[in-house]
Structure 1
Amino acid sequence: MKKILIVDDELSVCTLLTRFLSKNGYHAQSSTSGAEALRMLKNESYDIMLCDYHLQDITGKELFEKIQPLYPGIIVIFITGYADVRVAVDLIKNGAYHYLSKPLYPDEILKIIHNAIEDGNTPASARNSAEVKTLENGAGTLPAASEDGYVIGESEASRHLFEHVNLVALTDYSVILHGETGTGKEALAHLIHQKSNRRNGPFIAIDCGSLSKELAASELFGHEKGAFTGALHTKEGAFEQAEGGTIFLDEIGNLSYEVQVYLLRALQEKSVRKVGGVKTIKVDIRIIVASNENLYESVLNKTFREDLYHRLNEFTLKVPALRDREADLPLFVNTFLATASKELNKPIAGISSPVWELLLAYKWPGNIRELKNVIRRACLLTPEGKEISQKALPLELLNSKNMSQFAPQHNPDNGMDELSENGSSLKSAAIQGEQKRIMEVLQQVKFNKTKAAEILNIDRKTLYNKLRSMQQPSKK
């Protein structure tokens, strides 16, 4: 049994890699510091070392330089939270076997370890100069974080979901995606399209929640010139635009009953008629719809047509909430961290242990979308080359042990106690009370923002603005 030493200052990464490699037949141990790793190497012999480049007490390069003359037979594979091509080339040229960017993917890790065992400790520069040239040209520095743009999770819930995705994608079935807001339903619909026989056709996405009753039919089916006031030109609808491909209707439960009738007719007859038109236009499309409500309950409540529901419900996929796939959280975090670092052209050293604890404790009511926004915001607020600290997190995460409470807590990092601000306590209390009420209502309706807005007696736009303001860093 080959022995592997994992060196990473993020305990969660060490834990996940140790468990994963142990399950796959390796004797894996871990260390969270360079000094500890040196002690372990002194006391025990290891075949492979997976080493994070940015450690708390030493850089991966410095550790590599220390162990090279002492343990020349060990195979060293570097991992890091962001890709630096120059560092990668330098390490490989100086004897490292390989260089990987986080997020790490199981198949990729196993393949590289398997190849490393077969090749010995011969670095890529000696095995194949083309591999180094690939790095120098900037290709492959960030491994694909997804399949066709969708992050593939490793939890049981994710595996179950993608087994069904692979089954239904190759059919022409209509699909209902049911899941909470922010779970990635549109990205999943796009993945189904990319895996289907219609992949070369268009993918047209429509947010039904943003369509007014008057304009919904026009957006979906098009209109003729002069069909209504303001119709100055003939318009092609989404169904025509999606010809030969896939149309995705998000939040379909928001369509009016009248438009649902038109939609049912279009699906049954595989044809549409423009608003104000008399000509029937044949269409060849596949339809995928999504809702954060249970459409069958909507049928029982007489807000959604039963015949349309059965026409759409050839296959239903339940998209799990992020809290139900906790094992995927590190993968999502590292994927979004790598992407944000690249977008901002600003290397981030990783995530501090206290932040990891908060990320794991938080219930993520906004699911993957909320997580992505939190990581992008944190990257923006974190100085280059530094770890993400608690100061870069929004208020709700700092209070994640009781997420319905938005009262600010004293944060020693920010150097001030908000309770001591003159004249602000009353206003602050009012804001906190409003935010608490919003969260309570959202939880009651399972984060259906349309229902929440109705209960709160505000429109959806106002609710979105208030939620957005809750994500913003507090002003000093």
Structure 2
Amino acid sequence: MKHILLIDDDAFFIKTLSNYLKRFNYEVSTETNAESALKLIDQTTFDLVITDYKLPNSDGLTVIENLKKNHPEVPVILITNYSDIRTAVKSIKLGAFEFISKPIIPDEFKIVIQKALENKEKESQSNFKKENTQKEKEQTQQSADETSLIKGVNAKAIQLWQFAKQVAPTTMSVLITGESGTGKEYVAQYIHDHSERANKKFVAVDCGALPENIASSELFGHVKGAFTGATHDKVGQFEYANGGTLFLDEIGNLAYETQVKLLRVLQEQSIRRVGDTKDIKIDVRVIAATNEMLQSAIDDNIFRLDLYHRLNEFELTTPSLRNRPEDFEEFVKFFIKIASQELNKAIPRISIKLIERLSYYDWPGNLRELKNLMKRAVLLAQDGEILEAHLPQAILEKEQPKVNLKDAKEHQEKQLILEELEKQRYNKSKVAKALDIDRSTLYNKLKQYDIKL
């Protein structure tokens, strides 16, 4: 029986949580402050420690620091207030396995506890050999860097992953919006991995690569003889993903006719292969993604409103790379490390000054573009350092933006319009009204700032 220690000074909360964990055959001990908890940890073997951030005369970070120093094998989960993002980030850096925001979602909490205990088992088996080679250190660092790549420390990025973690254990369909290359599939995979379907298939489909004439066959399958060339029965992606998660990337590219069929599948939870007369029941969670403004497509009758609402029970937005300056250096170094491993080369150096020059570029291709560029640079670097000569001149020509009063005013105006567009879901009439301008003025501003809808 796994032994868990709960640390919280809220008597009602700790009793409720304790009773909940005992339902799953966990042995539970409780403490109300950090000092007594740390003494108990020194005297008793625990498989997991769960601590609140706010404790009398101390805090949860103190518990984490002490555990990582004296009992590094024991995983820690920190409970924080929903808005306390900085504390959550700091806890991960100190060595916490994960953080959970209040109010706690039971299903999510259960999954995190299971993963923490499973991770401890794996580490225990590894430590049994008493090996601590340089290779293992590099793998550990790579894992940490990969988490940083996906999550980052940007406030909007942290909020994105918090939301993703909260929606993951539910059955809600999710729509992920964001520019191309911002990691929408990473988010979808994360949701799947933290859901009850984690041990089932995750199937990704690029709707933008599906020709209109075969889209239905690819998604729903077909029977032999359904059309010319259908020489055998084919299982579609929905049927293949049955029990798991289906990720539909670039959903806005689906033909209208295929949208109608997709809506029917989502409503009835059954598919009918092309050319067949019988329905097949399915159990699939759908996560969709787009880099387009679907609201504009809806206004132009290109995308169905009813399908949009069916897909968008919960919406997430991945921030662009240019809006994550605090993460840029870390991304650069991560992609250099990955490229070096793929090319079987030593990791080259790169100067802070050169990284700063790269940050001036707009990066329209976002993380994908940066990854490709760093791989090219690593390939060209021959003397253990990435230099300007290894990078495209067009990217380095971008100078540090010079700020003047006019530019600052225009930038502020553009940001205000973009924020209101997102708030009003790209309904231009509502945006104009909210900004107290007429529609013609709004259209002129959209053209002036090259805002494409």
TM-score (norm. length: structure 1)? 0.57
Alignment-derived partner of residue 140 in structure 1: 137
Equivalence map 1:86-101=2 (5 Å):
none
What's the CA shift for 1:107? 5.1
SS at match of 1:235: coil
SS at match of 1:138: helix
The residue type equivalent to 1:398 in the other structure is L
- Alignment deviations for residues 102-123 of structure 1 (CA, whole Å, 9 cap, x no partner): xxx96575459xxxxxxxxxxx
What's the CA shift for 1:177? 0.5
Change beyond 3 A, Cα 1:138–1:147: closer
Alignment-derived partner of residue 389 in structure 2: 391
Change beyond 3 A, Cα 1:445–1:240: farther
What's the CA shift for 1:168? 0.7
SS at match of 1:236: coil
What's the CA shift for 1:366? 0.7
The residue type equivalent to 1:204 in the other structure is V
Alignment-derived partner of residue 35 in structure 1: none
Alignment-derived partner of residue 373 in structure 1: 372
What's the CA shift for 1:149? 9.9
SS at match of 1:135: coil
- Alignment deviations for residues 160-210 of structure 1 (CA, whole Å, 9 cap, x no partner): 111111111111111111101111111111111111111111011111111
Alignment-derived partner of residue 412 in structure 1: none
Alignment-derived partner of residue 325 in structure 2: 326
Change beyond 3 A, Cα 1:132–1:246: closer
Alignment-derived partner of residue 344 in structure 1: 343
What's the CA shift for 1:153? 0.6
What's the CA shift for 1:136? 2.4
> 1:156 and 2:124 equivalent?
no
Alignment partners' CA distance in 2, 1:383 and 1:133: 37
TM-score (norm. length: structure 2)? 0.60
SS at match of 2:152: coil
What's the CA shift for 1:250? 0.7
Change beyond 3 A, Cα 1:242–1:445: farther
Alignment-derived partner of residue 289 in structure 1: 288
Contact 1:146 1:152 in 2 (8 A): no
Change beyond 3 A, Cα 1:108–1:135: farther
Alignment partners' CA distance in 2, 1:167 and 1:313: 15
Alignment partners' CA distance in 2, 1:146 and 1:288: 26
Alignment partners' CA distance in 2, 1:134 and 1:248: 39
The residue type equivalent to 2:131 in the other structure is T
List alignment gaps of at least 5 residues for structure 1: 1-24, 26-104, 113-129, 404-440, 449-476
- Alignment deviations for residues 75-102 of structure 1 (CA, whole Å, 9 cap, x no partner): xxxxxxxxxxxxxxxxxxxxxxxxxxxx
Change beyond 3 A, Cα 1:287–1:150: farther
The residue type equivalent to 2:286 in the other structure is I
Alignment partners' CA distance in 2, 1:315 and 1:147: 26
Alignment partners' CA distance in 2, 1:132 and 1:387: 37
SS at match of 2:248: strand
Equivalence map 1:239-250=2 (5 Å):
239-250=238-249
What's the CA shift for 1:318? 1.1
Alignment partners' CA distance in 1, 2:363 and 2:193: 28
Alignment-derived partner of residue 175 in structure 1: 174
The residue type equivalent to 2:399 in the other structure is K
The residue type equivalent to 1:387 in the other structure is E
Alignment-derived partner of residue 185 in structure 1: 184
The residue type equivalent to 2:354 in the other structure is V
Alignment-derived partner of residue 430 in structure 2: none
- Alignment deviations for residues 277-319 of structure 1 (CA, whole Å, 9 cap, x no partner): 1110000000001111121221111110011111111001011
Alignment partners' CA distance in 2, 1:402 and 1:298: 36
- Alignment deviations for residues 356-382 of structure 1 (CA, whole Å, 9 cap, x no partner): 122221111111111111111111111
SS at match of 1:289: strand
Equivalence map 1:71-470=2 (5 Å):
110-111=94-95, 134-136=131-133, 138-142=135-139, 143=141, 144-145=143-144, 151-383=150-382, 386-401=384-399, 444=450
Contact 1:246 1:285 in 2 (8 A): yes
Contact 1:145 1:151 in 2 (8 A): no
The residue type equivalent to 1:276 in the other structure is G
Change beyond 3 A, Cα 1:131–1:331: farther
Change beyond 3 A, Cα 1:387–1:257: same
The residue type equivalent to 1:134 in the other structure is E
Alignment partners' CA distance in 2, 1:106 and 1:398: 34
Contact 1:149 1:187 in 2 (8 A): no
Alignment partners' CA distance in 2, 1:393 and 1:332: 16
Contact 2:203 2:246 in 1 (8 A): yes
What's the CA shift for 1:148? 7.4
Alignment partners' CA distance in 2, 1:150 and 1:238: 29
Contact 2:336 2:348 in 1 (8 A): no
What's the CA shift for 1:395? 3.0
**Which structure carries more relative contact order (alpha carbon 8 Å, separation 6+)?**
1
Alignment partners' CA distance in 2, 1:301 and 1:321: 26
The count of corresponding residues between Structure 1 and Structure 2 is 291
What's the CA shift for 1:397? 1.3
The residue type equivalent to 2:135 in the other structure is G
- Alignment deviations for residues 10-38 of structure 1 (CA, whole Å, 9 cap, x no partner): xxxxxxxxxxxxxxx9xxxxxxxxxxxxx
What's the CA shift for 1:355? 1.6
What's the CA shift for 1:253? 0.6
Change beyond 3 A, Cα 1:308–1:224: same
The residue type equivalent to 1:332 in the other structure is F
Alignment partners' CA distance in 2, 1:341 and 1:392: 15
List alignment gaps of at least 5 residues for structure 2: 1-60, 62-88, 97-126, 402-446
Alignment partners' CA distance in 1, 2:218 and 2:451: 29
- Alignment deviations for residues 399-418 of structure 1 (CA, whole Å, 9 cap, x no partner): 22299xxxxxxxxxxxxxxx
Higher deviation after alignment, 172-181 or 332-341? 332-341
Contact 2:357 2:400 in 1 (8 A): no
Q: CA RMSD in A?
A: 3.0
Alignment-derived partner of residue 409 in structure 1: none
Alignment partners' CA distance in 1, 2:149 and 2:135: 22
What's the CA shift for 1:339? 1.3
Contact 2:222 2:233 in 1 (8 A): yes
